[in-house]
Amino acid sequence: MDLSITRMAVADPKEAKEAKKAEDTTEPTQSEPPYQTMGRKNLIPYGLYACQGFISAHFAQPPKGTGFSDADLSLLWEALENMFDHDRSAS
Total domain count, the chain:
1
* 21 is a domain residue: yes
Cβ-contact 35, 17 below 8 angstroms: no
pLDDT at 45: 79
pLDDT at 27: 62
pLDDT digits (tens, 9 = 90+) for 34-70: 667 778 888 777 778 888 989 998 999 888 889 899 9
* 76 is a domain residue: yes
pLDDT digits (tens, 9 = 90+) for 6-41: 877 777 787 777 777 777 765 655 555 566 777 888
* Torsion sign (Cα): 61, 64, 66, 69: positive
Q: Which domain holds residue 24?
A: 2-82
* 65 is a domain residue: yes
* 54 is a domain residue: yes
| pTM (predicted TM-score) | 0.45
